[in-house]
Amino acid sequence: MRLADYILHDVESILAQWEAFAGTQLPASASMTPLALRDHAEQILRAVAKDLSTFQTKIAQAEKSRGLAPQLLDATETAAQTHAHLRLRSGFDINQLAAEYRALRASVLRLWIDDCHPDAPDLDDVIRFNEAIDQALAESIGLFTAQVDQARNLFLGMLGHDMRSPLHIIQLTAAYLGSVDAEENVSGAAQRLVKSGARLKALLDDLLDFNRTTLGLRINLGSDKVDLANLFAEELAQLRSAHPGHGINLEVKGDTKGVWDGRRLQQLLGNLVVNAIKYGAPDEPVRVVVAGDEREVRFEVRNSGRAIEQSTLAQLFDPLKRAPEHESSQTADGSLGLGLYIAREIARAHGGEITALSDQTVTVFAVRLPRCLDGAPSTLSH
């Protein structure tokens, strides 16, 4: 008997083995009914049988074995995807989900081969069946992973948001203690609290921005007529105070006015300058060059120091990525490794772009910004 026919004929015996195995996946399965344990297994088996009975080219078979079968146009989810969704809600982890498919593969082939005896099983059926199971497994794991990632990002976003209020109160209290006529040790402790609170707030802001982008949302932007020369001068003054031992120079050329979110662009610049200070030559200043023409404003952050490898340069704006030589500093500097990623997202949200170049003499981060945000008025008063 061909495998597709066997699956449809003996589906109940296959489901019984599926149910028995699913029942061993503790602790999630402990309170599940037999119907819940069998969830969508029959639909998955019938889909596999239909697949085995359908003509496919060698190329289509190869694509399916890699989990790349074309999506059905008339279905929002496959049976395998729905199964993954319900298993996640029941408390299964991804290893238990994958184990169900391994057990299904083994039990179907064993039962079918026993049924074929003494005749040899059809080898093409075995290959096609494995390809179909691989496709179903890929669909299940893909949806399972996406939903776990979304749940994690939503949790982190809510956590970061809820932590802002108590942090704000701590900062206000510390600022008050620092301003009253108190002993020197109390004022010093208050100032340390203020600085630590500001650092923690920056980490929370990065976390919330990261979660917005991973959830498919753009970074929040305001819109106003601003002059980057003035805004950047303010931001660099604060950075010089925070890094008194490092030179930071600003050069301005041309018209630098436009309609942007000034606070976000200060954040973008600050991330690039802090990165340049952290990884550039300590005895060489960081140079910020701002230039504008009729259509756009460009600015560069330049630092001397060790060249960045080309392989690293391509991944520099990926979240939670660092150059290999700086991986050991991840815990020491207290950052999340999101600075360059958020800088890129801010540039993109403004309709601009950011690029990085590096050689043995200089590393340059260059940002191009159209003068106006989408939907903002294009006529500016100077």
- The answer on pLDDT for 379 being more than 50 is no
In a domain, 337, yes or no: yes
- Going by pLDDT thresholds of 50, 70 and 90, the confidence category of residue 295 is confident
Could you say which DSSP state residue 6 is in?
A: H
Indicate the residue among 184, 217, 250 that finishes a domain. 217
Examine the domain organization and report whether 287 and 201 are in the same domain: no
In a domain, 151, yes or no: yes
In a domain, 376, yes or no: no
Examine the domain organization and report whether 41 and 129 are in the same domain: yes
* Cβ contacts of 345 within 8 Å, gap of 6 or more: 209, 213, 218, 219
Q: Which of 10-24, 73-87, 111-125, 183-197 shows the highest mean pLDDT?
A: 10-24
Distances (CA, A) of 278 to 126, 243, 314, 322: 57, 10, 19, 12
Residue 27: alpha-carbon gap to chain centroid: 30
In a domain, 381, yes or no: no
In a domain, 379, yes or no: no
Q: What is the pLDDT of residues 311-349, one digit of tens each?
A: 888 788 887 665 555 554 443 455 567 889 889 989 998
Phi and psi, residue 55, nearest 5°: -65, 135
Q: What is the pLDDT of residues 107-163, one digit of tens each?
A: 999 999 999 988 888 998 999 999 889 989 999 999 999 888 877 777 776 676 667
Short-list 215, 223, 340, 205, CA closest to 270 = 340
- Going by pLDDT thresholds of 50, 70 and 90, the confidence category of residue 71 is low
CB 261 within 8 A of CB 224: yes
Q: What is the pLDDT of residues 345-355, one digit of tens each?
A: 899 989 999 99
In a domain, 377, yes or no: no
Radius of gyration of the chain, Cα coordinates, nearest whole angstrom: 29
Examine the domain organization and report whether 210 and 326 are in the same domain: no
Short-list 136, 141, 128, CA closest to 93 = 141
In a domain, 378, yes or no: no
Residues listed for the chain: 382
**Position 45: which residue type?**
L
Examine the domain organization and report whether 212 and 237 are in the same domain: no
Indicate the residue among 162, 195, 217 that finishes a domain. 217
Please, is 363 exposed, middle or buried when counting C-beta atoms within 10 Å of its C-beta (0-12, 13-18, 19+)? buried
pLDDT of residue 378: 44
Is residue 289 helix, strand or coil? Answer: strand
Distance between CA atoms of residues 220 and 5, nearest Å? 56
CATH of the domain at 354: 3.30.565.10
Higher-confidence position of 314 and 184: 314
- Going by pLDDT thresholds of 50, 70 and 90, the confidence category of residue 210 is confident
Examine the domain organization and report whether 207 and 267 are in the same domain: no
Distance between CA atoms of residues 46 and 54, nearest Å? 12
Domain count, the chain: 2
CB 59 within 8 A of CB 106: no
Distance between CA atoms of residues 338 and 203, nearest Å? 9
Place of tokens 């669909």: 139
What average pLDDT does the segment 262-269 reach? 92
Examine the domain organization and report whether 199 and 326 are in the same domain: no
What DSSP string describes 99-165? HHHHHHHHHHHHHHHHHHTTSPPPHHHHHHHHHHHHHHHHHHHHHHHHHHHHHHHHHHHHHHHHHHH
Q: What share of the chain is helix, strand, coil (3-state, %, to 5)?
A: 60, 10, 30
Examine the domain organization and report whether 172 and 83 are in the same domain: yes
Examine the domain organization and report whether 66 and 41 are in the same domain: yes
Distance between CA atoms of residues 137 and 99, nearest Å? 10
Model pTM? 0.56
In a domain, 6, yes or no: yes
pLDDT of residue 99: 95
- Going by pLDDT thresholds of 50, 70 and 90, the confidence category of residue 9 is very high
pLDDT of residue 303: 94
Could you say which DSSP state residue 70 is in?
A: P
Examine the domain organization and report whether 130 and 230 are in the same domain: no
pLDDT above 90 covers a percentage of the chain that reads 47
What average pLDDT does the segment 29-34 reach? 92
What is the dihedral sign for C-alpha 276, 281, 285, 287?
negative
- Going by pLDDT thresholds of 50, 70 and 90, the confidence category of residue 5 is very high
Phi and psi, residue 246, nearest 5°: -125, 130
Indicate the residue among 198, 217, 236 that finishes a domain. 217
Examine the domain organization and report whether 159 and 41 are in the same domain: yes
Half-sphere exposure of residue 11, counting CA atoms within 13 Å on the CB side? 15
- Which residues form the domain of 278? 224-370
Mean pLDDT (the chain) is: 84
Q: What is the pLDDT of residues 270-284, one digit of tens each?
A: 999 989 998 899 899
Examine the domain organization and report whether 45 and 71 are in the same domain: yes
pLDDT of residue 330: 42
pLDDT above 70 covers a percentage of the chain that reads 84
Examine the domain organization and report whether 183 and 285 are in the same domain: no
CB 59 within 8 A of CB 13: no
